[in-house]
Amino acid sequence: MTLLRYWLAGTVILLLAIAVWALAPVLIFLVLLAGALGLVSLGMIVLARGLQTWRDRR
């Protein structure tokens, strides 16, 4: 490869590293938020199934 290609590849790698570093807090927050919403949904599903089972017994 020519020197220009090495320069472009290095620049792209550096810019990607900076972008990941800058966006990491946001991405971590979104992952935690999605996990929390998943747990809330799981709790609601368990509660609804328990209520349905309780109503069927009566």
pTM of the model: 0.58
Is 90 exceeded by the pLDDT of residue 14? Answer: yes
Q: Quote the CA–CA distance of 40 and 33 in Å, as a whole number.
A: 11
Is 80 exceeded by the pLDDT of residue 1? Answer: no
- In this prediction, residues 41-50 reach a mean pLDDT of 98
Q: How far is CA 52 from CA 9, 21, 24, 39, 49, in A?
A: 59, 47, 42, 20, 5
CA-based max dimension of the chain = 79
Residues in contact with 9: Cβ distance below 8 Å, sequence separation at least 6, in sequence order? 1
